[in-house]
Amino acid sequence: MAKQILVTGGLGFIGSHTVVELQNAGFDVVVIDDLSNTTLKVLDQIAEITGKKPSFEQIDLRIKQDVKNFFDKYQVDGIIHFAAFKAVGESMHKPLDYYENNLGALVYLLQEMRDRKLDNFIFSSSCTVYGQADELPITEKAPVKKAESVYGNTKQIGEEIIQDASKAHGINAIALRYFNPVGAHPSTKIGELPLGVPQNLIPFITQTAAGIREELSVFGDDYPTPDGTAVRDYIHVVDLAKAHIAALNRLIEKKNKESYEFFNVGTGKGSSVLEVINAFETANDVKLKYKIVDRRAGDITAAYADTTIANKELAWKTELGLQEALKSAWEWQLKQK
Ligand code: WQD
C-alpha cells in the first residue's frame, strides 16, 4: 500500500516540483493550497508530467476548523509543509499577516499531528536564518543570527516551534534550510510563477530577457567579493525537490538520529550576480540589459552552503548545475503567455 503524503503549498514553485518527485518515488500525494500565490492549472501540469493527478483541497490553513476537517477526511504518513508567505520586502510592511500565516498555520498542523499521533514532518526553512554568516561555506554549526526580516524571523521561530513540539510530543521532524532555489522542471510544464514584479534575481533576469521588464538593476557592486556583486548559492529546484524525498525517507525509515534535525540544502558553490548574468547570456545565447544601482537594504554579501552533512546524512547531492538551472528558467519563461 503506497504511503500518502500531505504537501501544503503543493501548487507553489518548490511545492509543485516536490509533488512531482514524490509521485515519481511512488508516494500518493494530497495537496493543500489556498491558491493565493498560484493557480489550479499547476495541478493539471503535475498530472501531465507524472500521469497521476494528486488529490487536492483548497484550504486556508489559518482556519483551525478547516485544518481539523482535513485530517478527519485524509490519513497521511507524512507532511511536507511549504505553505507560507515568502516575500522578504513585503514581510516588513505586513508583519502580522506573516506571523499569522507562517506560524499560526504551522501550529494548527502540529496540533493535529499531536492529537492524531501523526509523524514525519518536513519543514521548508531558509539559509536566511544565518544572516551574514561569519564563516563560508556555511555549515549547520553556524549560529542562527537575529533575523533581518520578518520573513526570516518566521522561519527561525517556525524551527523553534517544531523543535519544541518534536521534543514534547515525539513528532519526528526535519527542517531543510534552502539556499536560493532557481530553475524549472525540464518538461517546462511547471516553474516559478512570480505574481507582479519579481523580487528574486532569476525571474527578474528572465522577464528582462523576454522584454517584460525594461532592464535588470544589479543591487550593488561594492561588496567585498571578487567582482563586487553579492554571492549566493543557486540550487536547481529539481535537486531541491529531491532533497525533500531524501529527508522524508530518512524519517519513514527511522534513520534520523534526533527527533528534530536540520540540514543546509545548497550546491556548495557561490555565484555572484554578474557571474549569473554572464552564465545566463552564455547558456541561452541572449544579451541582457542591466545597470548597477545601490545595494538593496537587508541584503548580505555572501552565502553558500557546506553540503557535507546533507550529502552524508540524506545520501543526497545536487546533480544539476547553474547552467541547467538558467536554461530551464529561460525555457519556462519562453512558454509563458
Ligand atoms: C539574489 C541576489 C540581490 C534581484 C531571498 C530570501 C530567501 C529566499 C530566496 C524564499 C542578491 C540580487 C536580486 C534584482 C539583484 N526566499 N538581485 N537584482 O535575497 O538571496 O534570498 O530569496 O524562500 O529566503 O532571503 O534572493 O533572488 O532576491 O537575490 O541584483 O532585481 O540577487 O541583491 O544579491 P535572496 P534574491
The answer to whether residue 159 is domain-embedded is: yes
Helices (H) and strands (E) in the chain, counts: 12, 13
The answer to whether residue 58 is domain-embedded is: yes
The answer to whether residue 308 is domain-embedded is: no
- Walk along the chain (337 residues) and give the pLDDT tens digit of each residue: 899 999 999 999 999 999 999 999 999 999 999 999 999 999 999 999 999 999 999 999 999 999 999 999 999 999 999 999 998 888 999 999 999 999 999 999 999 999 999 999 999 999 999 999 999 999 999 999 999 899 999 999 999 999 999 999 999 999 999 999 999 999 999 999 888 899 999 999 999 999 999 999 999 999 999 999 999 999 999 999 999 999 999 999 999 999 999 999 999 999 999 999 999 999 999 999 999 999 998 899 999 999 999 999 999 999 999 999 999 999 999 999 7
Residue from 201, 223, 280, 295 whose mutation best tests the ligand 1 pocket (most atoms within 8 A of CB): 201
How far apart are the CA of 201 and the centre of ligand 1, in A? 6
The answer to whether residue 291 is domain-embedded is: no
Instruction: Give the CATH number of the domain where residue 125 resides.
Output: 3.40.50.720
pTM of the model: 0.97
Quickly count: other Cβ atoms within 10 Å of residue 196's Cβ: 7
**51 CB-near residues (< 8 Å, 6+ apart):** none
Domain that holds residue 16: 4-182+234-266
Helix spans in the chain (H): 13-24, 41-50, 64-73, 88-93, 95-99, 105-115, 150-169, 201-209, 237-252, 273-284, 308-313, 322-335
275 CB under 6 A from ligand 1? Answer: no
The answer to whether residue 206 is domain-embedded is: no
The answer to whether residue 191 is domain-embedded is: no
218 CB under 6 A from ligand 1? Answer: yes
Question: What is the residue with the minimal CA distance to atom 8 of ligand 1?
Answer: 180
Place of cell 504551522: 106
How far apart are the CA of 202 and the centre of ligand 1, in A? 9
The answer to whether residue 200 is domain-embedded is: no
| β-bridge pairing 173-178 and 260-265 | parallel
Is there a contact between 246 and 317 (Cβ–Cβ < 8 Å)? no
The answer to whether residue 312 is domain-embedded is: no
3-state DSSP assignment of residue 31:
strand
C-alpha cell at 9: 503549498
The domain tally of the chain equals: 1
